[in-house]
Chains A and B, each alone.
Chain A
Amino acid sequence: RLTQVRWSRYGPDYLEPEVNKEVYRKPGQELSEEEKMEQDLKALQPIKAAPCNVTSSLFSDPTISKFINMMMKGGNKVLARSIMSQTLEAVKRKQVEKYHQASEEERESIECNPYVIFHQALKNCQPIIGISNIKKGGKTYQVPTPLTDNRKRFLAMKWLITECREHKHYRIFMHEKLSQELLQAFNNEGPVIKRKHDIHKMAEANRAYAHYRWW
């Protein structure tokens, strides 16, 4: 099957690599017919090389890699990665402290896994509906528009990062501020969640102009 390839060093029939080990663990009998067909097809097609920030270990996470890339400035991946690991460590420390200081009943509800907190915080920050500027009759209106999943994830991460960069005292470290923001977003509070709610309110207010959208 021919695909639209704008410009890539790989040819058009190269498939994406599947790094997850669990996919290859399944024995032959448990596969359904469709999966068997897919496997046969895959055996005949060339596959791209795995990118350099991806491994099959438990510690590599696509969302976290994306977040690190977005935080990176000037190609300094080492710094971005260290900030990320320090953030996760700070989140874990805060949660463990809270855990030890809490009473017996509250201990079950406290989440200590920093990865879970990160994912939940991102999910809480994702807007449901977006705003786009549409020019009509000389005036620019803010029209509510639907967003794709990728766009939602991107906006959540972008808001987190800009929030941490701009609204912090210069003496506070980035990882410290980020961990504060993540914990606040996990509990549905904080400036990022407020920004998300602002967008929602503006979309609701401009509901009358929704028909200006033509796509």
Chain B
Amino acid sequence: MAVAVRRVLRASRSWRAALGGQERWRAETLRLICTTTAVQKRNVPASGPEKYTEAFIKKQIEEFNLGKRHLANMMGEDPETFTQEDIDKAIAYLFPSGLFEKRARPVMKHPNDIFPKQRAMQWGEDHRPFHFLFYTGKQSFYSLMHEIYGKMLDIQKYQDQLKAQDLDEKKQINLIGSRWLIKEELEEMLVEKLSDHDYSLCIRLLERLVTLPCCGIEEEYVLKFRKELDTQLKKVVIEPLQYDDQGVAFSTGEGKRKTSRATVIVYDNGNGKITVNGIDYLHYFPVIQDREQLMFPFQFLGRLGKHNMVCTVLGGGSSSQAGAIRLASARALCSFVTENEAEFMRQAGLLTYDPRNKERKKPGQEGARRKFTWKKR
């Protein structure tokens, strides 16, 4: 055990030094705004005997699988191909619940999803902990940092060896198409709570590792901390063209902005006529800005006078109706256009729904942001 301590802490210029002089406390924490803050829990490694023993969890898994087959038989489906979605539908059918809180309704899921992941006992019968970093309180985090630093030293040794042999190889890891694990995912991996500061230290160390020239040796280790990203364009559904009675190709699109909803039919072989709610666009949109927004997708693709458009818009004001029609026509035009051009449209911001809405008024203030007049007395 002492050997292990010496091995891991071998350069006591530890991973802290590797992070350089930037190890000042940063007042701004970097985190994703979209996720909720995790509830602070007690010290995980120091928690007492496990609440759910391994044997208990195994028994739960067996019972779950058995229950799944019984449920399949009850619903008249094939037990072999009974998926989780089918289970959810069956339970909702058999136990209808009027409760508003979705989490309070009856649920049948795999025990791994229900029982939280926890660690086995961290100390033996003689009450001495197994892990040598147990008394730091964040044993997996610190051991991870030491491991990564160990890998960095290995890479540097390898580089020195290559230099000694006068070879100049560079193996970089390809990081395109993936992102670093977010804090929640890293916590799940380590089964331990991390603070924002710890998480940012870990990511900085990994980025530092990736900048070394010969980091290809430790590629699989680093890829464990990366998650694959799909290309964004795949999330946009492009429908095929439809043909009406005269053989003219047309395509429909729907768009919304603020409170407006628009449906648009774009016809091919046209002369650039646009009809909105039965009225010509020149009369419906007297403001130039709105008409520019209608023209935007066509002008971007260079197809200004080649299509006809028939739109119906409901709700909202003039600008938001124009924005809704713009989104709808851009989506409709995707079917007329190649994939590359659709990607260009997406990068120009034509295919994204604008999520900006009127901000709500808060109590104690006059409006969304404006406060009441401050009176000294």
Contacts and interface: CB of A to CB of B under 8 A. Distances in A.
Interface of A: 2-5, 7-12, 17-19, 21, 24, 37, 40-50, 52-53, 55-57, 60, 77-78, 81
Please tell me the size bucket of the interface on B: 35 or more
B175 to A, nearest CB: 9
Contacts of B354: 49
16 contacts: A2-B31, A3-B30, A8-B33, A9-B355, A17-B347, A18-B349, A37-B176, A47-B232, A47-B347, A49-B354, A52-B323, A53-B289, A57-B292, A57-B295, A60-B292, A77-B287
B346 A47 contact: yes
Interface string B90-115: 00000000000000000000000000
Nearest to A82: B288
Query: Which residue of A17, A40, A49 has the most chain B CB atoms within 10 A of its CB atom?
Result: A49
A40 B33 contact: no
A196 to B, nearest CB: 32
A29 to B, nearest CB: 15
A43 B33 CA distance: 22
B356 interface: yes
B250 to A, nearest CB: 24
A17 B232 contact: no
A52 B319 contact: yes
Contacts of A3: 30
A7 B355 CA distance: 13
Query: Which residue of A9, A41, A50, A53 has the most chain B CB atoms within 10 A of its CB atom?
Result: A50
A56 B349 contact: no
Nearest to A17: B349
Nearest to A20: B348
**Closest 8 A/B residue pairs (Cβ):** A17-B349, A50-B349, A49-B354, A2-B30, A49-B352, A9-B355, A24-B344, A56-B300
Query: Which residue of B31, B229, B287, B296 has the most chain A CB atoms within 10 A of its CB atom?
Result: B296
B233 interface: yes
A44 B232 contact: yes
A45 B30 contact: no
Interface string B16-45: 000000000000101111100000000000
B28 A44 contact: no
Contact of B34 (A7, A11, A50): A11
Nearest to B323: A52
B177 A4 contact: no
A57 B231 CA distance: 28
B356 A9 contact: yes
Query: Which residue of A2, A19, A42 has the most chain B CB atoms within 10 A of its CB atom?
Result: A2
B210 interface: no
B294 to A, nearest CB: 10
B60 interface: no
B317 to A, nearest CB: 11
A77 B318 CA distance: 12
B118 interface: no
Contacts of B176: 37, 40-41, 44
Interface in B302-326: 319, 322-323
Contacts of B177: 40, 44
A65 to B, nearest CB: 10
A59 to B, nearest CB: 8
B271 interface: no
B348 A77 contact: no
B33 A5 contact: yes
A81 B33 CA distance: 36
Contacts of B229: 44
Given A44-B230, A78-B287, 15 more contacts: A11-B33, A18-B347, A19-B300, A41-B176, A44-B232, A47-B232, A47-B352, A48-B352, A49-B352, A50-B296, A50-B349, A52-B289, A55-B293, A56-B299, A57-B292
A28 B327 CA distance: 28
Interface string B210-239: 000000000000000000011111000000
Nearest to A21: B300
B51 to A, nearest CB: 34
A97 B289 CA distance: 30
B353 interface: yes
Interface in B241-276: none
A12 B229 CA distance: 16
Nearest to A2: B30
A44 B231 contact: yes
Contacts of A17: 347-350, 352
A12 B32 contact: yes
B187 interface: no
B356 to A, nearest CB: 5
Nearest to B293: A52
Contacts of A9: 355-357
